Amino acid sequence: MTRILVVEDDASIRLGLEDTLAAKGYTVTAVTRGDVGLAKAQDNPPDLIVLDIMLPDMDGFEVCRRLKASPDLREIPVIILSARGAELDRVRGLELGADDYVTKPFSLMELLARVSAVLRRSGRGEGAAPEQMRFGNVIINFKSQTATKDGESLDLPSRGYAILKALAMRPGEVVSRQDLMNEAWGYDKYPNTRTVDNHIVKLRKALEDEPDSPVYLRTVHGAGYRFVPEEA
């Protein structure tokens, strides 16, 4: 069961998060103070932390800094919640190592989508991508971000691995450009859908034997892309 730690002092938001996340099947622990959150994370590291900025003892930025400074806790993904929507605050949170930044007020459905996306990107929880994938004469290792074709190393950009991971989690399914942007760039960081298309073109050139007639990375016109692990 995927475990989520919520650090939020606003009672109504905290209860809403607890109920919504629990209804989705997550095991939820909720606390109201940053120091308690740090102690809970140390005692029983969760799969993800939802962290408010405005806390009564220390702000969420400091909590995030301490989490990412700890060798035992730095790999835990963090979603920051804040009523402060200024760009500098978002940048600060991401620079401290947060995986996403959600500005209040937010819809609980949007937060669920972000939680799911962060868990998938981090390889935690249900639906996480495999550490390695093979198709045809290609081997992709997501953990080390290495790729080979016919035993020869390939130089793929980190964003390319993120796109492949998103497709690998849904073999045979159509994945929209919007979903690929959310998975590979995050909700507030992507430019436009054409960027996804350009990355797919580059991936085909590197991975497909005939890029103009792709076998594995297929276009579904008007819908998105489909990863077909075996030729069909």
Give the pLDDT confidence of 149-183 residue by residue, as tens digits. Answer: 999 999 998 889 989 988 887 888 898 888 888 77
Alpha-carbon gap, residue 29 to 68, rounded angstroms: 20
Give the pLDDT confidence of 16-65 residue by residue, as tens digits. Answer: 999 999 988 899 999 999 999 999 999 999 999 999 999 999 999 999 99
Domains, the chain, with CATH or none = 3-122 (3.40.50.2300), 132-227 (1.10.10.10)
Give the pairing of strands 100-103 and 132-135: unpaired
Q: Percent of the chain scored above 70 by pLDDT?
A: 93
Chain mean pLDDT for the chain: 88
If you search the block for the tokens 């989490």, which residue do you land on?
67
Alpha-carbon gap, residue 224 to 178, rounded angstroms: 8
**In the numeric block, which tokens belong to residue 220?**
């579904």
